[in-house]
Every structure is written in structure tokens, then in C-alpha cells.
């Protein structure tokens, strides 16, 4: 029985996981949407097209609601790190305080300029002045994602420190930031956040078009977001491939567990799907010859380390294979949807905005993208178990020994349910009571010069 | 100045910054709710909202900055406070979460004000200072027990039954209302909003006497609870005397309805002197008697890196904060509501 006795480590893991899983939704929106707002506003100013300016304004209005929830859940996880993982934070404080500190600066910077941006729409004569206020918001939000991912990269592949008898000595603050996991992790996190937000905003436009509201505003929104999504999708695919190569070199146990690769061999096949029997035999899986070697090292005959060469008490849980497969399944569907839209846009332009299947697909792509982010994070975090600091500190050594972690888990779960429910209600009410058409009419906007 | 002292000074400045901006924010939330149930909402609400909307997000950052910096400079605090504060810390987080999000839901989300949202917002604004102030109380020692094996446990019932902890809560509550009302008086005056000004001026004057009385109470309570700390506070007695003088000047100006900006500067000085006097006397302890600023201070390269980043960060922050104030605090047209959003 999982919950039969009080185990603070288990409950700490569950509570941290819950808070992060909830926060990541709003954090992703927080990183990606400012970029999309900036794109829309910039196009609006350059083309002198009021539709794009309105788009930026409407996105920004909804964005504030998500920012609020992002800020409060971010504060929660920030404090929970110390409350639930005090021994870990004692070590982390010595080694990775710098990026944590820088993250708050980035957050500060973003908060200040977001406040200014939201309240100065009509204040400056030159429209570009208002646009420039958004640049620090974009930089701040991406920089805070950057720094916090640097912290996570350190936990996956500690660098810049010397470990002597279980104690950390000789800390190089900047060296610790340059962990080998850093480049792939940071770029993957940033690009997939942009991608997800592009899909989320595209889904909103697609929803309206599907409902038969075929104002040119929605077409412009759909085109802008889907073209962006397509570009981000290609970039995340390239970075995803680099992440595989990183794993093979620095965290072979994670790669081996995710691919159920037990024997160290060359010409290693990649397993898709399948189930694992109790004596670790893979059944019903689809084996693609050489693919794992190519994924790991770029050549078909490269040797890939298997799980049998790794001490058993350092094995990550083997179910991460399912998470990874699911994630790649989502990615495949997103690629399909985005490519289909691009093909239509190129060949039969009007059909791209009216084909019901395409529109439904785009609406589906948004939750898929968010799920991919969740799966990717769970996969990455569970995949480094049993370590909290790979090779240095086990998760069980980092957790609190306090009582009441179980009560806190239920209380926070309730809080997140309430927040999720309220924010969805507020957001839908906000846009339903004031549609883009109504606003266009109220503001007396003529159709821009684009159509 | 050693790195330790420099580090704790930086953090103390940020905590002070949080004290001021959060008090304005928390108090304003409460007054906003209070004015709704007393039927004065239409008089002061616009003015409060004009101030709060662009800055609410910034307030939170001061707090995050403080605790992230604390763990960075003094990693052992994470161990002691982290283990001990699970329940009170989580309660504070939940209240902050409710307050922050429902503020946004109400301000940006709905067209008409939702009274449940207002209640959540107003009530949490008073509960948060109370829950956060327990950290201050705990730092005085006596509420945490460390076993021989190093296990830290928090003596909740002891904190709950202690007179000292209740005086601190009282001080936190009344000073929030006092600071906020003093600021709003200044803001209403700038906005040239006579109606709002008269309402918040009354709040400010009403909360001034309780503030000073509860400060005195805390003084006596510290003497009973931690005589060593009290002793060191008397060595810094001049700071508390100056603080009291600043209080008198501040209240005098609100009383005579003149020079309200100057008045608020003196409110900040009043709390500044008291807060830094209290902090200086608290040193070298971070958690009496287990943790001083010299125990397990972060490594030298990390301290240098943190301080350098801090200075660079300030170079970025100060102009930005100045811009924020220029646009929303010192821009007469905005303050008077003559600029749209």
C-alpha cells in the first residue's frame, strides 16, 4: 500500500510534483505568450494593421490572469523547495544559489515592465515606445526560464564542484551553471514553451472560426500563430535530437531505462511501444534497427550502454519508457497537424481557415502540446531517480522529516483545484462577454491593409 | 564590512522593502473591502485601484528575493527554518496564492466586482502579515527544538500560547493598516481627490496610536522573552528614539493636511529606524541560539558572485523602478485618472 504509513519522502515528492505540474502550465504560458504578443504588436505597427494591435491587446488581457496564477504558484514552489527539501537546499544554497538569485532578478524585471506595459497602451504618441516596453518582459520571462532550468540542469548533471567524502567543496558559482545538461535543457524548455503558446493561441482562433465566426481578425491570428508554431516545432525537433545525444554521454542510465535497453551493444535498436514482463523481457514492442545508436551517437554502429552495466540501486523506474513513447506520440500528432495546415495555407489558402478537420486538429494540438510539456518534465524528473543531485545526494536524503506533509499535500491539492477552476471561469467569461468582433466595432477599426 | 554582514544587510534591506510595499498592498486590500461593507467604496476604490494595478506583481518579488537570497547566503537557514516552518510557511503561501490570484481575477477578469473575491482579498491581506510575522517570532528562539541527532521540530503550541508571539502579530496587523492608510492619504492628496483623502486620512490617524502602543508592547515582550536581545536593543536605543520622532512628524503632517509626501517619507524613516535597530540588535543570530550569520556562511566565491550579481541587478532594477514610479506615482495625470489604460 502506497499511502498506508506516513512517509515524508513520498509525500514530499508528491507535493513537489503536484505543485510543479500545476505551475508548469502557467509558467509555460508566461514564457511563450509575451513573445507572441510582441510579434503581433510588431506586425501591427509595421503594417499599420489595427487587427494585430487588437490581437496583442486581447492576448495581453488574458495573459495577466495566467501571470497571476503563475506568480503565486511560482512563489509556492520557491518556498516549498526549502520547506520540503531542507537538506537538499542546504547543499543547493552553496552550489546553485547564483542562478536561483538571478532568476528572481529576471522575474523582478519582467514584473516591473509588465505592469508598465499593461497600463500604457494609449499613453505614448509613438506606438513603438509602447512596443519597446514589451522587450524587457520577453527578455525577463525567457531569462527566468533560463536560470531556473540551469538549476535543474545542475541537479541532473552536477558541475563546477568537487565532492569529497560526500561533502561539496571547491564551488565555482559560474562553473556550476555550465552543467553539461544546460545547453540542451535550456533550449528545449524555451522553444517548447514558445511552441505550446503558439498552439494555445492558435486553438483560440481556430475555435472561433469553427464556430462560424469568420472575421478576418481570426484568420490573421490563426496564420500568425500556426506559422510560428511550425517554425518552433522544427527547432524543438532538432534540439530534442541533441538531448538524446546528451543523455547517451552524461546520463546513460536514463536513456537505457527510457528505451528498455538492458545489454550494452552496438547497432542498438529503438523500441517503440511494447510492455515489459516481470523478468525484463520486452513484448509486443516495435524494434527499429540501429535507431537507438543513431539517436545516441549519430552513427548506426555506435555502442549504447545498457542498464545491466549500471548498479541496480541506481536504476531509474522503467515505466518512463511509456512516458517517453506517449510524449513522442503527441509530438507526431502535432507535426501532422501543423504540416497539414502549412500545406493547405500554401496550396489552398481559404481552405486552411475553413476546413473543419484542420480547425479541430488545431484545437486538439493545444492540449497535446501542454501534455507533451508535462510528460517531458515527468519523464525527465522521474528519470533521474533515485538521485536528487545525480551521483551526490539521493532523493530520500534531501527530504524533510517534518510531520504533516500529508495534510499539506491535500490542502495544496484543494488550492490548485480552486485556482484552476476560477482561472478557467474568469478567462472564458472575459472573452465571451467581449468578443473580438464587438471590440473591433466598438473601436471603429477598419480592416487593415493585409486583406 | 565582512561578507556575512554585507549579505544580511542586503537581505534586510529587501525585507524592509517588502514590509513597506506589502503593507501598502495588504492594507489597501483590506480598506477596499472595508469601504465596500461600509458603503464608502465608490469614494476610495478608484484611487486604490489606480495605484495597485500596475504594482501588485512587483510586491511579491521582494519576498521571493528575500528568501532566495537568504538560502543563497546562509544555506543553513534552509535546513532549520525549512524543517520547522512547514505548516506556517505553507499557510502563508496558500494565503498569498489566494490573494494574488483573486486580486487579478477581480481586477482584470470580471466587469463588476465580485463580493466573494473582495472578501478573500481583504481578509487574506490581514492574515498574511500575521502568518509571516511568526517567522520573526521564531527567530527569537524558544519555539524550535533541535534534538541531539539534529532533528528540528517546531513547538507549535508554545508559539500559540506565547504572549510575545501575539504582540508581534498585533504589531504586524496595526502597522500594515497604518502604513497603508498613510500612503493612501498621500496618494489621494496627489490625486486631488478630496473625498477619498478625508476617508483615508481618518483611517491613518485612527491607526497611528495603536501602532505606537503595540510597538511598546513588543519592546516589553522581548524583554521577557529574550533578555539578551533586549539588552542589545537598549544599546541601539537612539534608533528607536529617532523612529518615534519620525512618527510624530509624519502624523503631524497628516493632521494638518500639509506636505503629505514628506509625511510618508517620515513613515518610511520611522519603520526604517525601528526595523534596522531591531535587526542590528538581533545580530549575530539568525535563529537564536542555533544559528548565527557566521555559521556555515556560503563559500567565498559564491558570496562574491552573489554580491556582484546583486549590484548588477540593482543597476537594472533602480532605473526600472524609477520608471514605474514616474509613470504611476508621480504622473499627476495618471494619478488623477485622466489617462486611460
pLDDT band at B214 (very low <50, low <70, confident <90, very high): confident
Whole-number pLDDT of residue A1? 39
Is the ipTM higher than 0.95? The answer is no
Instruction: Report the range of poorest mean pLDDT among A161-170, A429-438, B128-137.
Output: A161-170
pLDDT band at A317 (very low <50, low <70, confident <90, very high): confident
Mean pLDDT of A281-285: 73
**Closest residue to A404, CB basis, from B81, B87, B306:** B87
CB proximity list for B308: less than 8 A, separation 6 or greater: none
Is this prediction's pTM over 0.90? Answer: no
Q: Do B82 and A92 touch (CB under 8 A)?
A: no
Mutate to test the interface with B, among A70, A83, A408, A423 (most CBs of B within 10 A): A83
Considering only CB atoms, which chain A residues are within 8 Å of B90? 79-80, 83, 408, 411-412
State yes or no: pLDDT of A34 exceeds 90: yes
From the CA of A81, how many Å to the nearest CA of chain B?
8
Considering only CB atoms, which chain B residues are within 8 Å of A84? 82, 86
**Cell numbers for B186:** 498621500
Considering only CB atoms, which chain A residues are within 8 Å of B11? none
Residue A214's SS3 state is coil
Q: Do B320 and A113 touch (CB under 8 A)?
A: yes
| Tens-digit pLDDT profile for residues B35-45 | 877 777 777 77
| Angstrom distance (rounded) from CA B152 to CA B37 | 44
Whole-number pLDDT of residue A168? 72
**Cell numbers for A299:** 552513427
* Helices then strands, each counted (H, E), chain A: 16, 10
| Tens-digit pLDDT profile for residues A319-338 | 888 888 888 888 888 888 88
Q: Do A72 and B97 touch (CB under 8 A)?
A: yes
State yes or no: pLDDT of A279 exceeds 90: no
Q: Do A171 and B55 touch (CB under 8 A)?
A: no
Query: Which H or E element spans position B292?
Result: strand B291-292
Question: What is the sign of the dihedral through the CA atoms of A401, A404, A406 and A412?
Answer: negative
Residue A122's SS3 state is coil
Whole-number pLDDT of residue A274? 75
State yes or no: pLDDT of B132 exceeds 90: no
Give A272's strand partners: A286
Q: Do B339 and A123 touch (CB under 8 A)?
A: yes
Considering only CB atoms, which chain A residues are within 8 Å of B104? 64-65, 67-69
Mean pLDDT of B86-100: 85
Strand segments, DSSP code E, in A126-234 are: 162-164, 167-169
| Angstrom distance (rounded) from CA B126 to CA B30 | 7
**Cell numbers for A118:** 499593461
CB proximity list for B178: less than 8 A, separation 6 or greater: B27, B204, B207, B208, B210, B211, B267
Q: Comparing A403 with B248, which gets the higher pLDDT?
A: B248
pLDDT band at A25 (very low <50, low <70, confident <90, very high): very high
Question: What is the sign of the dihedral through the CA atoms of B286, B292, B296 and B298?
Answer: positive
Q: Do A65 and B103 touch (CB under 8 A)?
A: no
Mean pLDDT of A238-243: 85
Residue B258's SS3 state is coil
Whole-number pLDDT of residue A446? 67
State yes or no: pLDDT of B341 exceeds 50: no
Q: Do B108 and A61 touch (CB under 8 A)?
A: yes
Considering only CB atoms, which chain B residues are within 8 Å of A429? 109-110
| Angstrom distance (rounded) from CA B282 to CA B284 | 6
State yes or no: pLDDT of A64 exceeds 80: yes
CB proximity list for A212: less than 8 A, separation 6 or greater: none
Residue A160's SS3 state is coil
Angle B15-B21-B22 from CA coordinates, rounded to 5°: 80
State yes or no: pLDDT of A359 exceeds 70: yes
The pair phi, psi for residue A169, each rounded to 5°, is: -130, 175
Mean pLDDT of A119-135: 84
| Angstrom distance (rounded) from CA B187 to CA B216 | 29
pLDDT band at A177 (very low <50, low <70, confident <90, very high): confident
Mean pLDDT of A263-286: 74
**Closest residue to B57, CB basis, from A94, A114, A422:** A114
pLDDT band at B340 (very low <50, low <70, confident <90, very high): low
Q: Do A401 and B151 touch (CB under 8 A)?
A: yes
In terms of phi and psi (left: phi > 0; alpha: psi -120 to 50; beta: otherwise), the region of B60 is alpha
Mutate to test the interface with A, among B3, B82, B112 (most CBs of A within 10 A): B82
Pairs of residues, one from chain A and one from chain B, whose beta carbons lie less than 8 Å apart: 229
Q: Do A422 and B101 touch (CB under 8 A)?
A: yes
Q: How many CA atoms lie within 13 A of B253 on its CB side?
A: 20
Q: How far is CA A53 from the centre of its chain?
A: 27
Residue whose cell numbers read 527566468: A144
| Angstrom distance (rounded) from CA A191 to CA A237 | 10
Considering only CB atoms, which chain A residues are within 8 Å of B63? 75
**Closest residue to A411, CB basis, from B54, B94, B109:** B94
Omega before residue A249 within 30° of 0, cis? no
Residue of B nearest to A12 (CA): B86
State yes or no: pLDDT of B60 exceeds 50: yes
Whole-number pLDDT of residue A5? 63
**Closest residue to B320, CB basis, from A67, A97, A112:** A112
**Cell numbers for B88:** 506556517
**Cell numbers for A347:** 496550396
How many angstroms separate the most distant Cα atoms in chain A? Answer: 72
State yes or no: pLDDT of A237 exceeds 80: yes
Query: Which H or E element spans position B317?
Result: helix B300-328
Whole-number pLDDT of residue B1? 66
**Cell numbers for A150:** 540551469
Considering only CB atoms, which chain B residues are within 8 Å of A118? 53-54, 341
**Mean pLDDT, chain B, as a whole number?**
80
Of B328, B53, B51, nearest to B188 (Cα)? B51
Mean pLDDT of A406-418: 89
State yes or no: pLDDT of A49 exceeds 70: yes
pLDDT band at A450 (very low <50, low <70, confident <90, very high): very low
Buried/exposed A345-360: b ≥16 CB within 10 Å, e otherwise: beeeeeebbebeebbe
From the CA of B91, how many Å to the nearest CA of chain A?
9
| Angstrom distance (rounded) from CA B162 to CA B184 | 34
Residue of B nearest to A97 (CA): B72
Q: How far is CA A88 from the centre of its chain?
A: 24
**Closest residue to B301, CB basis, from A171, A415, A426:** A171
Mean pLDDT of B140-156: 73
Considering only CB atoms, which chain A residues are within 8 Å of B105? 65, 68, 422-423, 426
Instruction: Report the range of poorest mean pLDDT among A278-287, A404-413, B89-98, B214-223.
Output: A278-287
Residue % of chain A over a pLDDT of 90: 18
Mutate to test the interface with B, among A60, A69, A72, A405 (most CBs of B within 10 A): A72
Of A56, A40, A38, nearest to A136 (Cα)? A38
Whole-number pLDDT of residue A166? 65
Considering only CB atoms, which chain B residues are within 8 Å of A122? 339-341
Residue of A nearest to B156 (CA): A403
State yes or no: pLDDT of A200 exceeds 90: yes
Q: Comparing A424 with A90, which gets the higher pLDDT?
A: A424
Q: How many CA atoms lie within 13 A of B139 on its CB side?
A: 18
Mutate to test the interface with A, among B11, B72, B92, B155 (most CBs of A within 10 A): B72
Q: Do B68 and A115 touch (CB under 8 A)?
A: no
| Angstrom distance (rounded) from CA B177 to CA B186 | 14
Residue A394's SS3 state is strand
Instruction: Report the range of poorest mean pLDDT among A49-58, A85-94, B168-177, B267-276.
Output: A85-94
CB A292 within 8 A of CB A314: no
pLDDT band at B7 (very low <50, low <70, confident <90, very high): confident
Highest mean pLDDT among A263-267, A284-288, A313-317, A363-367: A363-367
Instruction: Report the range of poorest mean pLDDT among A146-150, A158-162, B245-249.
Output: A158-162
| Angstrom distance (rounded) from CA B179 to CA B23 | 6
Q: What is the DSSP string of A293-360?
A: HHHHHSSTT-EE--GGGS-GGGPPPTTHHHHHHHHHHHHHHHHHHHHHHHHHHHH-HHHHHH-HHHHH
Considering only CB atoms, which chain B residues are within 8 Å of A87? 79
Whole-number pLDDT of residue A449? 45
Of B164, B199, B211, B160, nearest to B23 (Cα)? B211
| Angstrom distance (rounded) from CA B176 to CA B210 | 11
Q: Do B306 and A97 touch (CB under 8 A)?
A: yes
Mutate to test the interface with A, among B61, B85, B114 (most CBs of A within 10 A): B61
Considering only CB atoms, which chain A residues are within 8 Å of B111? 433
CB proximity list for B270: less than 8 A, separation 6 or greater: B243, B244, B246, B247, B250
CB A376 within 8 A of CB B54: no
Q: Do A105 and B105 touch (CB under 8 A)?
A: no
**Cell numbers for A388:** 536528487
Q: Do B71 and A412 touch (CB under 8 A)?
A: no
Of A338, A334, A103, A77, nearest to A226 (Cα)? A338
Whole-number pLDDT of residue A392? 72
Amino acid at each position: 500500500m502506497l499511502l498506508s504509513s506516513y512517509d515524508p519522502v513520498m509525500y514530499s515528492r508528491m507535493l513537489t510534483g503536484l505543485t510543479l505540474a500545476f505551475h508548469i502550465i502557467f509558467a509555460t504560458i508566461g514564457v511563450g505568450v509575451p513573445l507572441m504578443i510582441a510579434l503581433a504588436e510588431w506586425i501591427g505597427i509595421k503594417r499599420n494593421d489595427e487587427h494585430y494591435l487588437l490581437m496583442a491587446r486581447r492576448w495581453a488581457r488574458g495573459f495577466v490572469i495566467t501571470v497571476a496564477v503563475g506568480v503565486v504558484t511560482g512563489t509556492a514552489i520557491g518556498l516549498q523547495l526549502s520547506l520540503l527539501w531542507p537538506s537538499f537546499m542546504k547543499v543547493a544554497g552553496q552550489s546553485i544559489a547564483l542562478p536561483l538569485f538571478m532568476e528572481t532578478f529576471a522575474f523582478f524585471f519582467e514584473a516591473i515592465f509588465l505592469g508598465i506595459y499593461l497600463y500604457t497602451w494609449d499613453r505614448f504618441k509613438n506606438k513603438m515606445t509602447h512596443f519597446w516596453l514589451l522587450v524587457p518582459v520577453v527578455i525577463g520571462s525567457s531569462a527566468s526560464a533560463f536560470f531556473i532550468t540551469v538549476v535543474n540542469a545542475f541537479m541532473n548533471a552536477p558541475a563546477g564542484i568537487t565532492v569529497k567524502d560526500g561533502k561539496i567543496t571547491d564551488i565555482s558559482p559560474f562553473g556550476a551553471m555550465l552543467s553539461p545538461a544546460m545547453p540542451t535543457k535550456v533550449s528545449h524548455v524555451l522553444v517548447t514553451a514558445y511552441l505550446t503558446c503558439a498552439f494555445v493561441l492558435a486553438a483560440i482562433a481556430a475555435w472561433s472560426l469553427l464556430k462560424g465566426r469568420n472575421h478576418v481578425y481570426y484568420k490573421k491570428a490563426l496564420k500568425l500563430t500556426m506559422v510560428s508554431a511550425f517554425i518552433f516545432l522544427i527547432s524543438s525537433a532538432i534540439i530534442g535530437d541533441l538531448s538524446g545525444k546528451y543523455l547517451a554521454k552524461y546520463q546513460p542510465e536514463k536513456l537505457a531505462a527510457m528505451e528498455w535497453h538492458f545489454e550494452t551493444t552496438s547497432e542498438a535498436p529503438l523500441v517503440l511501444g511494447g510492455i515489459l514482463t516481470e523478468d525484463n523481457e520486452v513484448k509486443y514492442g516495435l524494434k527499429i534497427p540501429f535507431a537507438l545508436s543513431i539517436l545516441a551517437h549519430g552513427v548506426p554502429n555506435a555502442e549504447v550502454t545498457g542498464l545491466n552495466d549500471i548498479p541496480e540501486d541506481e536504476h531509474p523506474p522503467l515505466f518512463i519508457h511509456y512516458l517517453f513513447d506517449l510524449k513522442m506520440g503527441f509530438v507526431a500528432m502535432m507535426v501532422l497537424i501543423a504540416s497539414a495546415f502549412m500545406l493547405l495555407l500554401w496550396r489552398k489558402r481559404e481552405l486552411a481557415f475553413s476546413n473543419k478537420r484542420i480547425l479541430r486538429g488545431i484545437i486538439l494540438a493545444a492540449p497535446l502540446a501542454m501534455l507533451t510539456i508535462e510528460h517531458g518534465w515527468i519523464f525527465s524528473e522521474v528519470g533521474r531517480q533515485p538521485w536528487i543531485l545525480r551521483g551526490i545526494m539521493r532523493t530520500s536524503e534531501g527530504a524533510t522529516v517534518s510531520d504533516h506533509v500529508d495534510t499539506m499535500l491535500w490542502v495544496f491539492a484543494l488550492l490548485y483545484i480552486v485556482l484552476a477552476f476560477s482561472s478557467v471561469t474568469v478567462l472564458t467569461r472575459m472573452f465571451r462577454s467581449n468578443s473580438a468582433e464587438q471590440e473591433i466595432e466598438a473601436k471603429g477599426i477598419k480592416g487593415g491593409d493585409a486583406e | 564590512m565582512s561578507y556575512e554582514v554585507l549579505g544580511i544587510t542586503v537581505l534586510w534591506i529587501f525585507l524592509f522593502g517588502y514590509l513597506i510595499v506589502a503593507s501598502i498592498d495588504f492594507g489597501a486590500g483590506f480598506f477596499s473591502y472595508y469601504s465596500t461593507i461600509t458603503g464608502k467604496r465608490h469614494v476610495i476604490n478608484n484611487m486604490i485601484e489606480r495605484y495597485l494595478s500596475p504594482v501588485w506583481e512587483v510586491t511579491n518579488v521582494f519576498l521571493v528575493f528575500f528568501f532566495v537570497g537568504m538560502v543563497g547566503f546562509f544555506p543553513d537557514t534552509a535546513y532549520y527554518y525549512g524543517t520547522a516552518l512547514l505548516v506556517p510557511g505553507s499557510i502563508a503561501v496558500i494565503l498569498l496564492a489566494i490573494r494574488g490570484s483573486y486580486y487579478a481575477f477581480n481586477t482584470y477578469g470580471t466587469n463588476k466586482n465580485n463580493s466573494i473575491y473582495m472578501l478573500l482579498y481583504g481578509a487574506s491581506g490581514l492574515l498574511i502579515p500575521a502568518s509571516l510575522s511568526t517567522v520573526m517570532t521564531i527567530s527569537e528562539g524558544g519555539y524550535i527544538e533541535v534534538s541531539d541527532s539534529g532533528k528540528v521540530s517546531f513547538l507549535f503550541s508554545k508559539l500559540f500560547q506565547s504572549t510575545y508571539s501575539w504582540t508581534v502579530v498585533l504589531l504586524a496587523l496595526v502597522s500594515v493598516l497604518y502604513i497603508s492608510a498613510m500612503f493612501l492619504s498621500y496618494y489621494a492628496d496627489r490625486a486631488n481627490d478630496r473625498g477619498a483623502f478625508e476617508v483615508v486620512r481618518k483611517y491613518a490617524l485612527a491607526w497611528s496610536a495603536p501602532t505606537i502602543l503595540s510597538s511598546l508592547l513588543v519592546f516589553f515582550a522581548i524583554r521577557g522573552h529574550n533578555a539578551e536581545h533586549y539588552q542589545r536593543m537598549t544599546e541601539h536605543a537612539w534608533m528607536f528614539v529617532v523612529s518615534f520622532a519620525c512618527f510624530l512628524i509624519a502624523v503631524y503632517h497628516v493632521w494638518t493636511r500639509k506636505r503629505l509626501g514628506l509625511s510618508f517619507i517620515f513613515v518610511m524613516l520611522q519603520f526604517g529606524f525601528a526595523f534596522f535597530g531591531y535587526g542590528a540588535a538581533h545580530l549575530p543570530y539568525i535563529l537564536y541560539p542555533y544559528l548565527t550569520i557566521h555559521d556555515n556562511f556560503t563559500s567565498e566565491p559564491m558570496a562574491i558572485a552573489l554580491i556582484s550579481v546583486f549590484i548588477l541587478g540593482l543597476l537594472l532594477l533602480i532605473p526600472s523602478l524609477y520608471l514605474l514610479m514616474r509613470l504611476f506615482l508621480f504622473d499627476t495625470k495618471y494619478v488623477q485618472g485622466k489617462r486611460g489604460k
